């Protein structure tokens, strides 16, 4: 079998982890009922996107992978539904904190943890206050039908190096859980179309399907640091054509069927990997 079905979720979140887990679980079940074998929730779905502000009290919400409520809940759900659930969570590892993702397989076990490599720092996205840069390197995992899944987290999705590195590790589908919306420093800046174009570009230049899941809703208005998240989650095929998408305020589940044998043929025919010249790319790994 070369076809697999992938899904992505889009919804709003509150500061109640129990309610958020329940809503994500409900939507994971809906995606699985549509046949999805890999279901992607948004980034840090355990709560509101807390990186809008710097608050040392929020470090108390981080947990090790084996103790985090969101991870434990998705483990039970993955085992019940026999699906893969890439699960974003706020990780504590001793004195260190990471923006991490647990790849949960259909046996309910965590196949591994990826720690977000690129950490943003700017108005409304003050992640460097909370997270160390990931120390795992990029990761890929075995998926359904002997596929290979690659996952980058939010800011990672803007970097062509992230996508290409995972492709060179054998990735056949790229997944990007996200929390992105308004830019508090510039009300006129709407990055929604840029956000999508960046990932569609990865799809085209690597001849690979891409799945992106974002949140919606306005968070934090009462504290003067409000942000509105613009959704527009999507699934694209290896040619960059949109197979499924959601609007800016739309809660929902999207799914799409991917034929990985066809993707493999198309990737070989384009010759991007045949014609690479790594001996010319040394400048890419040098400091500016």
**Residues acting as catalytic residues:** 43, 116, 154
Q: Are the C-beta atoms of residues 102 and 113 closer than 8 Å to each other?
A: yes
Q: Are the C-beta atoms of residues 174 and 214 closer than 8 Å to each other?
A: no
Task: Extract the tokens encoding 256.
Answer: 């799409």
Q: What angle do CA 182, 134, 160 make, to 5 degrees?
A: 60
Number of alpha helices (DSSP H) and beta strands (DSSP E) in the chain: 5, 16
- Nearest 5°: phi and psi at 203? -60, -50
Sheet of 96-104: strands edge to edge? 85-93, 96-104, 110-115
The secondary structure of 218-266 as a DSSP string is: EE-GGGT--EEEE---EEE-TTS-EEEE--SS--EEEEEEEEHHHHHHH
The region, left, alpha or beta by phi > 0 then psi within -120 to 50, assigned to residue 245 is beta
The secondary structure of 62-103 as a DSSP string is: -B-GGG-HHHHHHHHHHHHHT-BEEEEEEEEETTEEEEEEEE
């Amino acid at each position: 079998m070369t076809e697999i079905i992938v899904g992505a979720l889009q919804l709003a979140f509150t500061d109640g982890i129990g309610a958020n887990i329940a809503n994500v679980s409900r939507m994971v079940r809906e995606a699985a009922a549509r046949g999805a074998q890999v279901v992607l929730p948004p980034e840090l779905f355990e709560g509101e996107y807390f990186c809008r502000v710097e608050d040392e009290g929020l470090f108390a919400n981080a947990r090790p992978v084996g103790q985090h409520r969101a991870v434990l809940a998705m483990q039970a759900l993955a085992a019940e539904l026999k699906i893969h659930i890439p699960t974003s969570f706020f990780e504590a590892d001793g004195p260190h904190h990471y923006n991490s993702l647990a790849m949960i397989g259909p046996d309910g076990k965590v196949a591994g943890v990826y720690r977000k490599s690129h950490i943003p720092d700017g108005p409304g996205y003050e992640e460097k206050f909370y997270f160390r840069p990931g120390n795992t390197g990029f990761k890929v995992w075995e998926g359904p039908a002997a596929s290979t899944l690659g996952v980058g987290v939010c800011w990672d999705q803007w970097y062509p190096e992230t996508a290409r590195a995972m492709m060179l590790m054998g990735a056949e589908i790229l997944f990007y859980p996200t929390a992105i919306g308004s830019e508090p420093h510039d009300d006129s800046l709407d990055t929604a179309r840029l956000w999508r174009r960046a990932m569609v570009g990865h799809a085209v230049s690597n001849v690979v399907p891409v799945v992106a899941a974002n949140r919606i809703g306005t968070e934090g208005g009462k504290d003067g640091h409000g942000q509105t998240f613009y959704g527009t989650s999507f699934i694209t095929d290896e040619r960059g054509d949109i197979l499924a998408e959601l609007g800016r305020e739309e809660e929902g589940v999207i799914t799409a069927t991917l034929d990985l044998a066809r993707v493999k043929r198309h990737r070989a025919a384009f010759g991007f990997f045949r014609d690479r010249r790594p001996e010319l790319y040394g400048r890419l790994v040098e400091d500016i």
